[in-house]
Structure 1
Amino acid sequence: MVDSMASNGSPLATVAIQSIGDMGGGIARLLIANGYRVITNARGRSQATHERIKRLSIELVNDDEALCNSADYILSIVPPKDALANAKRIATATSKPAFKKRTSPLYFLDLNAISPESAREISNVFDEFSTDIRVMDGGIIGGPPKKVENGEWDVPSIPVSGPYQLSQSQPSGEHLAKVLHVKHVNETIGSATGLKICFAALSKGFTALAIQSFTTAHNLGVLYELKEHLESSNPRAARAVERGLPSMPPKAYRWVHEMEEIARTFESDGGFSQSESPFRAIARIYDLVANGTELGKELTDSRNRGKTAEDVVLLMSEGNAKRKVKTD
């Protein structure tokens, strides 16, 4: 039986997750395995999402007001383009009279892959609504939590920043921070998001370069030779490509806006001009994957194509050929 009490003997918190995608579902599994009550509002979500919620034993609530009144912590884990809208939904719900009856603060952890500028905008949303919500800015570095050998969990890193610290919050904040591998970076909203964005620029930027390099090598008939040379000179990069290309297709639609947020970060916080940032162009690469190839039909829970690097570049080559025919 899972222990539902913190080390000090108090009941564990109720955690709301918006929404239950691949990452949100993984974090829900981790929290439930550690005794937490996990809730979500899935109104307007797909049938696949509803099936995932049922399979993971996540509790459904009827609306955002019920979500805010029931939760101690809200984890916002949505596609980057939806981060601001999701924050406005929650802020609106907390402006209702019923929310004022709460006797404890509600913590909102924005864990989306957005720019520091967007994180600051989200924090300002709650300030404008004058709600009693304590906002933490954060990001998730790594893949969804998964159970490994001996009952242990492989858990991503979650840096957070802002004036509030999860480990010092109540209820069960110290325990929750430990379970989620949360590390407080500093007191500035935007710092943790910036850390996530800078990391994602390296990892997902590399994947975008691999897409173009491997697709071009395929078209030239030298893909095998490229792989051979890469394995010989940089085996870690070769393994990263073999892992990264097949895992990318179901996530490409989310990465389009994330690349734009990276560009925004490098421009607003890094001091680079638009002409010096490659990430607006990289966003178009992932847009091509998501909307111009068969790879865009792939779902995390149901994979048919693009399960190898070779098949990814084959479909990319086909997508480019179709696009060329349309423009000729």
Structure 2
Amino acid sequence: MGHRDVGILHPGDMGRGWRRRPWREAPRCGGCPAGGRSAASRRRAAGAGLLAAADLRELTERCEVVLSVCPPAAALDVAREVARAGFRGVYVDANAVSPQRMARIAEVLAAGGATVVDGGITGPPPREAGTTRLYLSGDAPAVARVAGLFTGSALAPFPLDGPIGRASALKLAFASYNKITYALAAQACALADGHGVLDELLDLAAGALPHTPLAATERLAGAGGKAWRWEPEMGEIARAFAQVGLPTGFAEAAAETFRRWEAHKDDTAMTGARLIADLCTAERHEGSGTP
């Protein structure tokens, strides 16, 4: 190809970390198309220094590599849109999807001539080195091409040997522990609060489990604004559990917890105490039959 631009669909919260341009080689980057996205998404893309494309076809024609960074529930639809636009470059699905869904995404893109790389991002938006990793698996030359874009950047590439699905499996295995821990801690706090022993629980946890979300309610606060994304991710984790014969109940219960916080979408001022109170209120309503 005669062009080397990199496109991102759709930056969202993770895209805020791209303002320092974490890749080394790409001279420009196409953000999400101008149409069909919310004003907030367009502001985030502009604030991250991404060049907006007029539409998806312009972005796919301009870019050799396209990264999909979107809520997991939208990942397959985004892949279909890119395939319909005629993209034939390297497509990196970096979403929190199950290996099973990742295989379906690969089928959709490969049918149109694109080369697909399975990606899994762990950590916060990439603002400084050593905090965020991008695991990659699939076609070896394409994996090496993508890894080369990020080598030495704030988003550290970790190529994995083996087929598509390995990066997604690793991402979800880590997320199953990391994110379900927040749901479990919130439930424990809500249980204690409901019985009038929340202060005593926090004192106990501060001594026995000082580095966990259970030890201080402020550590739960960030989960509120992300719950709308974490809830469908739990569905992907449940699907991955089922694929290898594991019980799905952990992920399903966590999904229900996060669903109760969806109204706090992108709220950076949320407090852990408010999240715990929301769980307690919902539980009382369910117990009394109140709608």
Q: Which amino acid in 1 is paired with 2:275? A: V
Question: Does residue 1:245 correspond to 2:226, yes or no?
Answer: no
Q: Is the 8 A contact 1:166 1:174 kept in 2?
A: no
Q: Is the 8 A contact 2:110 2:116 kept in 1?
A: no
State the shift of 1:284 in Å.
1.5
State the shift of 1:314 in Å.
2.1
Question: Does residue 1:138 correspond to 2:119, yes or no?
Answer: yes
Match of 2:182 in 1: 207
Greater mean alpha carbon deviation, residues 188-197 or residues 251-260: 251-260
Corresponding residue to 1:164 among 140, 147, 154: 140
Distance 1:38 1:240 in 2: 41
Q: State the identity as a percent.
A: 28
Q: Equivalences for 1:103-122 in 2 at 5 Å?
A: 106-122=89-105
Uncovered stretches (5+) of structure 2, i.e. residues with no partner: none
Corresponding residue to 1:313 among 272, 276, 284: 276
Match of 2:50 in 1: 58
Q: Equivalences for 1:1-328 in 2 at 5 Å?
A: 13-31=4-22, 36-40=27-31, 41-94=33-86, 106-129=89-112, 131=113, 133-147=114-128, 153-166=129-142, 168-169=144-145, 174-179=148-153, 180-238=155-213, 242=217, 244-268=219-243, 270-274=244-248, 277-290=249-262, 296-300=263-267, 303-304=268-269, 306-307=270-271, 309-324=272-287, 327=290
State the shift of 1:44 in Å.
1.5
Distance 1:244 1:34 in 2: 37
Q: Is the 8 A contact 1:162 1:188 kept in 2?
A: yes
| TM-score (norm: length of structure 1) | 0.79
Q: Deviations over 1:270-316 (max 9, x none)?
A: 22255xx32122211111221xxxxx23425xx34x23x22321233
Q: Is the 8 A contact 1:167 1:177 kept in 2?
A: no
Q: Is the 8 A contact 2:15 2:48 kept in 1?
A: no
Change in Cα spacing, 1:74 to 1:240, as seen in structure 2 (3 Å) is farther
SS at match of 2:207: helix
Q: Is the 8 A contact 1:120 1:190 kept in 2?
A: yes
- What is the RMSD of the two structures over their aligned residues, measured on CA atoms? 2.6
Q: Which amino acid in 2 is paired with 1:310? A: A
State the shift of 1:324 in Å.
5.0
Uncovered stretches (5+) of structure 1, i.e. residues with no partner: 1-10, 100-104, 148-152, 291-295
Distance 2:66 2:218 in 1: 32
Distance 2:280 2:80 in 1: 40
Q: Which amino acid in 2 is paired with 1:140? A: I
SS at match of 1:248: helix
Change in Cα spacing, 1:45 to 1:216, as seen in structure 2 (3 Å) is same
SS at match of 2:6: strand
Q: Is the 8 A contact 1:159 1:184 kept in 2?
A: yes
Distance 2:216 2:81 in 1: 38
